[in-house]
């Protein structure tokens, strides 16, 4: 499954990093790094991370447009 994080919306709360550290990583205090291609075994954790994001910056699967980076 594919994810996209709207980095203009992301505020660095890092809830995603706590819930799915294999996919999300903070670089410094505010820069979020992530793997857009989520392994099948981590889908539930990534969905939890998306739901926990206070600013709803994470788009998962069907929410991701086909032309998104």
pLDDT of residue 30: 76
pLDDT of residue 8: 93
State the residue range of the domain holding 57: 3-63
Structurally, the chain folds into a number of domains equal to 1
Tell me whether residue 20 is in a domain.
yes
Distance CA 26, CA 12 (A): 8
Distance CA 1, CA 29 (A): 27
Tell me whether residue 32 is in a domain.
yes
Tens digit of each residue's pLDDT, the chain (69 residues): 899 999 999 999 999 999 999 999 998 877 899 999 999 999 999 999 999 999 999 999 866 665 555
Q: Residue 49 is inside which H or E element, if any?
A: helix 43-52
Tell me whether residue 68 is in a domain.
no
Distance CA 64, CA 23 (A): 16
pLDDT of residue 64: 62
Tell me whether residue 35 is in a domain.
yes
Tell me whether residue 46 is in a domain.
yes
Distance CA 66, CA 55 (A): 22
């Amino acid at each position: 499954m594919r994810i996209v994080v709207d980095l203009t919306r992301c505020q660095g709360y890092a809830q995603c990093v706590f819930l799915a550290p294999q996919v999300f990583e903070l670089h410094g205090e505010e820069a979020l790094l992530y793997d857009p291609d989520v392994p099948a075994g981590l889908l539930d954790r990534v969905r939890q991370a998306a739901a926990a994001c206070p600013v709803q910056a994470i788009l998962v699967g069907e929410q991701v447009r086909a032309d998104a980076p």
